[in-house]
Structure 1
Amino acid sequence: MFTNIGLRAVLKVQASVLRESSAALCCAASVKPWTNRSSLLSGPKVRSGSFAVPQPVRHYARAAKKKKTGPESQLSDLPPTMLKMDYAAVPLAQTTDDLVKRLLSLELASHKEKLQLKQEQLIAKVQRDESDRSSEEVQVAILTARIRNYQEHLQKHHKDKANKRRMLMAIDRRKKILKHLRLIRYDAFEKVCEQLGITYTFPPEYYRRATRRWMAKKEFCIKVFKAVQKQKAEQRLKIKQSSGSTDTESAKTNAAEI
């Protein structure tokens, strides 16, 4: 008798455990795969005798950020295996092992050294002879390398006012040299612009800084000019009308005399 009562109690406990486990499995199956894992591990929450399914947490995939590709640098055409300018003419540097060549190449060179080498390449395109270092063509080449370097720097650091001022000063200096070179040696001027890729724009014949005071004065002068033209047109119309009336009166008097 006691054994039957014990068996019944054990069966009741097992049945209740099976019911709870089946309910938990049904709840977990109804939850979508993007549900938060912590909510599944904690099990279903019971509210007023029924199982409450937690809300799914959606993790949407984010698009990969595109890297901003700026304009191509003037130093990008320099190969990294090229030797530095100080070691290019040394014959021993050409016969050394690969490790030493790498140390002497542009791969580990600073930006200043690369810019110096680029400047020498631009000078070699326009100089008159090998010993020419002070002609107007060479000065234009040096200023061109500096201006392009300033432009690349300001695209990354647009609030650098000091370098912007230096760039504008270099542009003005190059304009003056090109203007003088165009007047005295036009063939050299064309060669410099073609070799260095410079687009020369002619300065305006008349230039005045557009300030608020000047704009207001110009607008007032235009209004005065229009008012004067309107008055002159009215005066011309009155003169025509008066001349027309005198002609008709003279015609009437001539007719009466006849």
Structure 2
Amino acid sequence: MNFAKILRACKGMQWQLSREYAFKSDLKIKWVRPEKIPCTKPEKSGDLGKLPPVNEKEFLLDYKDSRELQSADPIVQSLFQLGNNRCADTARYLREQLIKEVQRHPLDYGSMEAKLARMTVRIRIMQDELEQYPRNTKLKVALKELIDKRKKFLKYLRRWDYRRFEWMLEKLDLVYKPPPAEFHWITRKESLQKLTDAHCEKIKEERLAEYRNMLDEQKIPFLEDAIKKMEFVRKEQIDLEIPVSVTEEQIKDFKRELEALKSKREVKVDSKK
């Protein structure tokens, strides 16, 4: 192959690449990669609700119904309040409150509903703690495992009893997000193709709308002229006592269409102002 032919081929490829680059820049389409949401965030795990506020002056669960504590000294009472004890006692209190809303009977702590309520409280406590200490890797791993376990339980409940599954989602304020059937990577090339198609579709719709407006503007003088001619033809036919080919209903239909076009044009002018 001659060296001159090789040089011409390289120049042609360079021109083609430059044209493709210019085409991409002319579209003015910017693609930003979507932000990846960690699975430990409530937006990804499906936890719509937060933990309810806790009254720090509430007594511990084991001493809640104690008559002696009700009449004891305030200093003694403060020793058995939630605000002066461990966080584990507060978590236990919240867990008991949520389990009572979904349990089947007062001693139900092993059903699917009770297990889901217990896991939900633990997940939300761990999520709040992870927001304060985002570098705690052990907590992050444990939270991810617990979220996956709850999803597995929800999948089983959805298969066994769909009505109870919907009821649990409403009670726990959850959103169930099943895994996709096929995993699909989000790539820049495919996203740009979709954005380009949407951009071209938008340009086509805008030009079609402009063309429709132009036709409507041309239709107004045409209808005015047609109404005048139809009225003249009808009058002449009546005067000459020949069969009338233009009815009043046809003229009224044309007038109604003309009024609709004029009102539409006035609305557009007012919107532009």
Give the alignment's TM-score, normalised by structure 2. 0.48
Q: How does 1:160-239 map to 2 (within 5 A)?
A: 160-207=136-183, 210=185
- Aligned residue for 1:99? 75
Distance in 2 between the 1:95 and 1:191 partners? 41
Superposed displacement of residue 75, structure 1: 5.6
Distance in 1 between the 2:118 and 2:70 partners? 28
Distance in 2 between the 1:154 and 1:137 partners? 26
Question: Residues 200 and 75 (structure 1 numbering): CA distance in 2 closer, same or farther, change over 3 Å?
Answer: closer
Distance in 2 between the 1:99 and 1:75 partners? 28
- Mapped contact 1:123–1:138 kept (Cα < 8 A): yes
Residue 97 of structure 2 is aligned to residue 121 of structure 1: yes
Question: Residues 74 and 116 (structure 1 numbering): CA distance in 2 closer, same or farther, change over 3 Å?
Answer: farther
Distance in 1 between the 2:77 and 2:165 partners? 39
- Mapped contact 1:181–1:189 kept (Cα < 8 A): yes
Q: How does 1:15-34 map to 2 (within 5 A)?
A: none
- Mapped contact 2:51–2:121 kept (Cα < 8 A): no
Aligned residues, how many? 144
- Mapped contact 1:75–1:115 kept (Cα < 8 A): no
Distance in 1 between the 2:97 and 2:124 partners? 14
2:118 to 124, 142, 151: 142
- Aligned residue for 2:213? none
Distance in 2 between the 1:75 and 1:139 partners? 17
What per-residue deviation string (whole Å, max 9, x for no partner) do you get for residues 15-40 of structure 1? xxxxxxxxxxxxxxxxxxxxxxxxxx
Q: What amino acid sits opposite 2:102 in the alignment?
A: V
Q: What amino acid sits opposite 1:170 in the alignment?
A: L
Q: Which runs of 5+ in 2 are unaligned?
A: 1-41, 43-48, 191-273
**Which aligned runs of 4 or more in structure 1 are off by greater than 4 angstroms?**
73-76
Q: What amino acid sits opposite 2:138 in the alignment?
A: A
- Mapped contact 2:102–2:113 kept (Cα < 8 A): yes
- Aligned residue for 1:223? none
What per-residue deviation string (whole Å, max 9, x for no partner) do you get for residues 27-86 of structure 1? xxxxxxxxxxxxxxxxxxxxxxxxxxxxxxxxxxxxxxxxxxxx9x95661111110111
Larger Rg: 1
Residue 88 of structure 2 is aligned to residue 112 of structure 1: yes
Distance in 2 between the 1:117 and 1:75 partners? 11
- Aligned residue for 1:88? 64
Q: Which runs of 5+ in 1 are unaligned?
A: 1-70, 220-258
- Mapped contact 1:126–1:191 kept (Cα < 8 A): no
Cα RMSD for the two superposed structures: 2.7
Q: How does 1:34-53 map to 2 (within 5 A)?
A: none
Question: Residues 74 and 102 (structure 1 numbering): CA distance in 2 closer, same or farther, change over 3 Å?
Answer: farther
Q: What amino acid sits opposite 2:62 in the alignment?
A: D
- Aligned residue for 1:133? 109
Distance in 1 between the 2:151 and 2:51 partners? 24
SS at match of 1:201: coil
Superposed displacement of residue 93, structure 1: 1.6
> Which structure has the highest helix share of the two?
2
Higher RCO (CA 8 Å, separation ≥ 6 residues): 2
What per-residue deviation string (whole Å, max 9, x for no partner) do you get for residues 121-158 of structure 1? 11111111111111111111111111111111111111
What per-residue deviation string (whole Å, max 9, x for no partner) do you get for residues 155-202 of structure 1? 111111111000000000000111111111122212211111111123
Superposed displacement of residue 203, structure 1: 2.3
- Mapped contact 2:51–2:124 kept (Cα < 8 A): no
- Aligned residue for 2:53? 77
Q: What amino acid sits opposite 1:127 in the alignment?
A: Q
Q: What amino acid sits opposite 1:174 in the alignment?
A: R
Q: What amino acid sits opposite 1:181 in the alignment?
A: L
SS at match of 1:86: helix
Q: What amino acid sits opposite 2:167 in the alignment?
A: K
- Aligned residue for 1:228? none
